[in-house]
Amino acid sequence: MTPRVVVTGMGWITPLGHDLETVWAKLVNGESGVKPIDRFDASTFPTPYAAQVRDYDYRQYVTDPKVHEHAAMNTQFGLGAARQAWDQSCLGSYGELDLRRVGIYIGAGEGVLDFDAYAKVAMKSWDPDKAAVDAPEWARQAAVTMSRWGEIGQEPNMPMSHIAREFGIRGPAYNCLTACAASTQAIGEAVDILRRGDADVMISGGTHTMIHVLGVTGFIRLTALSRQEGDCTKASRPFDRGRGGFVMGEGAGMVILETLEHARKRGATPLAEISGYGSSADAFRITDMHPQGLGPAAAISEALNQAGLDPHALGPDGRPLVHYISAHGTGTKENDSVETLAIKKVFGENAPKIPISSIKSMMGHLIAAAGAVELIACVLAIRNSTLPPTVNLDLPDPELDLDYIPNNARHAEIEVCLSDSFGFGGQNDTLVIQKLV
């Protein structure tokens, strides 16, 4: 029989705060973490706002800050989230823990390029006549201008190496980077590693920041970001008729996953079970999702199938078997329409009966880390019998006719949640999160 996999610890560093309870309270209150960008001068950018992590110091979360002195910002976020999850799981006090059986599978983004140094080197070595940099001059300028550790720290596997070092992990170690789907995919594959018996415990989740000059520039050029003027807390409006793009967020979400057997053996408290995982590729276009949402629908169907849930059935309480969908819900025209279609395609007549929301309306889009924080929100929704709202949903879009939990949190008994993440480029991932019964 396939081993069951449970969550025994969770942690996050987000634009709404740095601990589970504070952030959850703000989500339930519908508070926004979006403010004008103050990390660089974005005043003339078409989108001058984002949801930044503020007042965060990773040093309080690590045993010896010297060991992590070169940690890039994404690594710093990841260390804080992983520490919270590790502490909640009480693994640190489990004397029989075999660190060779503890693995890590995260979806971390790349580190932040030092834009100022990069630009300085570029300007000093540019040859306008050749419309190219003078390569030897570029190399000489770069060697004296760019920071050695800043450059090394940008490798996407660096957050994982730091977290592995902090907790002494020696088991299977992976980082995946499938854009906005990365941490959902990481958690799904970590579940598979546990089911196969290749580890007893996995740290999983994601961490990312793209709130830097070139990150914001890149998404603006793709016309993916909201350009709404006025009150920037209103700019992220998933499923609203006036939605015009996403708002960037940043941060980390980490969970401790283990087999139910391992959790029970050491007397840990399982917070929820991850019972299904589906993954697919659109194989359609580089820039667009498949207009009928075939890829997302395939991922959702596979996740339900793995969890043994019939999307068309009703439970004894008259509700569909899935009680809540944490949407990818970015707030772009395309995503929210296609995601709605995919949900309808899978659930048919049951689709309007399932409450759906997007916490990106409040904390922005954490890119590679988005799926991990959304999974944590699902577990908290189950625990607290409360569904976080989609804020700024003021003008319903006539084509989007499902229940998106507009603006106000809702009380409901929740046993089964679905969490969707769809990446730029067409990689789709869905997880089923269940109350442990």
Partner 1 sequence: MQRRVVITGLGPITGFGVGIAPLWEAMVEGRSAIRRIEQFDPDGFECRIAAELRPDDFDVRKVVPRNHRKATKVMCRDTALAVGGAAAALADAGLNGADGDAAEPVIEPGRMGCHIGAGLICAEVNELCAALWTSRDDNGDVDLQHWGHTGMTNLTPLWLLKYLPNMLACHVTIIHDCRGPSNTITCCEASSGLSIGESMRVIQRDAADACLSGGAESKVNLMSMLRQTAAGRLAPTPADQDPATVVRPFDPDATGTVTGEGGGIIVVEAAEIAERRGAEVYAEITGMAATQSFCPDTVGLDLDPAGVEIADAMLLAMKQAGVGPDDIDAVVPLGSSIPSVDRAEAAAIKRVLGGRSAQVPLITTIPNTGNCNAGAGTVAVAVAANAIKTQTLPARLNTGPVEGLDAAACPSRPAELNHVLVSQTSQGGQNVAMVLQREGIE
113, exposed or middle or buried, with CB in 10 Å at 0-12, 13-18, 19+?
middle
Report 141-180 residues binding partner 1 (CB under 8 A): 142-143, 146, 148, 151-158, 160-162, 164-165, 168-179
Q: Where are the beta strands (DSSP E) in 309-436?
A: 324-326, 356-357, 386-387, 410-411, 416-422, 427-434
Report 220-249 residues binding partner 1 (CB under 8 A): 220-223
Residue 129 is a binding residue for partner 1 (CB under 8 A): no
Minimum CB distance to partner 1, residue 143 (Å): 7
Report 290-349 residues binding partner 1 (CB under 8 A): 294-295, 298, 302
Is 328 an annotated catalytic residue? yes
Span from 216-224, 264-272, 310-318, 336-344 in contact with partner 1 (CB under 8 A): 216-224
> Residue 165 or 435: which CB sits closer to partner 1?
165
Span from 28-36, 50-58, 280-288, 343-351 in contact with partner 1 (CB under 8 A): 280-288
CB 111 within 8 A of CB 74: yes
> Residue 302 or 339: which CB sits closer to partner 1?
302
> Residue 154 or 386: which CB sits closer to partner 1?
154
Which residue of 34, 112, 213, 418 would you call a contact of partner 1, by CB under 8 A? 213
Span from 128-136, 259-267, 372-380, 409-417 in contact with partner 1 (CB under 8 A): 128-136
Minimum CB distance to partner 1, residue 152 (Å): 5
Question: Look-up: residue for tokens 């961490």?
Answer: 207
Catalytic one of 180, 232, 378, 417: 180
Report how far residue 328's alpha carbon sits from residue 373's, in angstroms, rounded to the nearest whole number.
11
Distances (CA, A) of 317 to 314, 323, 413, 415: 8, 11, 11, 12
Which residue of 27, 104, 187, 255 would you call a contact of partner 1, by CB under 8 A? 104
> Residue 80 or 156: which CB sits closer to partner 1?
156
102-108 and 356-357: which strand pairing?
A: unpaired
Residue 69 neighbours by CB distance under 10 Å:
9
Distances (CA, A) of 309 to 124, 178, 264, 383: 61, 27, 25, 21
> Residue 181 or 322: which CB sits closer to partner 1?
181
Helix (H) or strand (E) holding 204: strand 201-209
CB 208 within 8 A of CB 368: yes
Span from 7-15, 213-221, 336-344, 393-401 in contact with partner 1 (CB under 8 A): 213-221
Distance of CA 198 to the CA centre of its chain: 25
Catalytic one of 68, 208, 262, 365: 365
DSSP state of 66: G
Which residue of 219, 239, 246, 422 would you call a contact of partner 1, by CB under 8 A? 219
Catalytic one of 68, 208, 323, 328: 328
Residue 424 is a binding residue for partner 1 (CB under 8 A): yes
Distance of CA 23 to the CA centre of its chain: 15
In this structure, is the dihedral angle defined by the CA atoms of residues 365, 350, 403 and 408, taken in order, positive or negative?
Answer: negative
Report 24-63 residues binding partner 1 (CB under 8 A): 40-46, 48
Is 208 an annotated catalytic residue? no
Is 232 an annotated catalytic residue? no
Helix (H) or strand (E) holding 105: strand 102-108
Distance of CA 129 to the CA centre of its chain: 45
Helix, strand, or coil here: 80? helix
Report 355-414 residues binding partner 1 (CB under 8 A): none
> Residue 415 or 429: which CB sits closer to partner 1?
429
The catalytic site residues sit at 180, 328, 365
